[in-house]
Amino acid sequence: MDDLEIRKAGLKVTLPRIKILELLREHTDRHLSAEDVYKLLIGCESDVGLATVYRVLTQFESAGLVKRHNFEGGQSVFELDRGGHHDHIVCLDCGHVEEFIDEVIEKRQRTIVKEKGFALEKHALILYAHCSRGNCPNRNR
C-alpha cells in the first residue's frame, strides 16, 4: 500500500501524496514532469495545486521515494525509485524511457575518476535515441 511508504518517509499520509505516488506507479514507460503529474491529477477529480505537486515530488526525492532527472528540455522529470541505480535511454521522438545498467560502463567510470584523482559521487548517463515503437514517430513529448 502507498500509505506505508509515505509514512515510513516520515510524511503525513495525505490525498495528494497518495495520488501522486499512484500516478508514478502507473507511468513507468515515460518519466513524468511536475506539469504532467499536475495535469493527470486534474483529469481525475483530485484538486491538487501545482505548488503541491512540486513540493511533494521534492519531498519524495529527499525521502528516496523518487528520483529526479534533468533530461533535455528544461524541466525535471521524475520516476519512482525502486532502489538500485540505472541509466536511461530516452526516445527523442516520443519520450519513451528505457532503463539499463551496464557493469562494464560502471566499472570504467570508477576507474576513470580514480585516475584523475577525483572521488566519484554520482553520475548521469543518458542516451538520446530514436525508438522503433509503432506509436512513436512524431509524438513529440
Partner DNA sequence: TGTTAAATGCGAATTCTTCTCGTTTGTACA
Partner DNA sequence: TGTACAAACGAGAAGAATTCGCATTTAACA
Please answer whether residues 48 and 19 qualify as being in contact, where contact means their C-beta atoms are separated by less than 8 angstroms.
Answer: yes
How far apart CA 71 and CA 124 sit, in angstroms, is 10
> Residues 75-114 vs DNA: string with x where CB under 7 A?
xx--------------------------------------
Q: Can you state the angle between helices 34-42 and 15-26, rounded to 10 degrees?
A: 110
Please answer whether residues 127 and 90 qualify as being in contact, where contact means their C-beta atoms are separated by less than 8 angstroms.
Answer: yes
81 binds, among DNA, a second copy, none (CB under 5 to 8 A by kind): none
Asked if 138 is part of the footprint of a second copy (rule: CB under 8 A), the reply reads: no
Please answer whether residues 64 and 81 qualify as being in contact, where contact means their C-beta atoms are separated by less than 8 angstroms.
Answer: yes
Asked if 137 is part of the footprint of a second copy (rule: CB under 8 A), the reply reads: no
Stretch that binds a second copy, among 19-27, 42-50, 53-61, 124-132 (CB under 8 A): 124-132
Residue 65 half-sphere exposure toward CB, CA atoms < 13 A: 23
Stretch that binds DNA, among 42-50, 95-103, 107-115, 125-133 (CB under 7 A): 42-50
Give the binding-site size for a second copy (rule: CB under 8 A).
31
Stretch that binds DNA, among 30-38, 80-88, 106-114, 119-127 (CB under 7 A): 30-38
Smallest distance, DNA to C-beta of residue 116, A: 27
How far apart CA 141 and CA 94 sit, in angstroms, is 5
How many of the other CB atoms lie within 10 Å of CB of 83? Answer: 6
Site residues, a second copy (CB under 8 A): 70, 72, 89, 91-92, 98, 100, 102, 104-105, 108-109, 112-113, 116-132
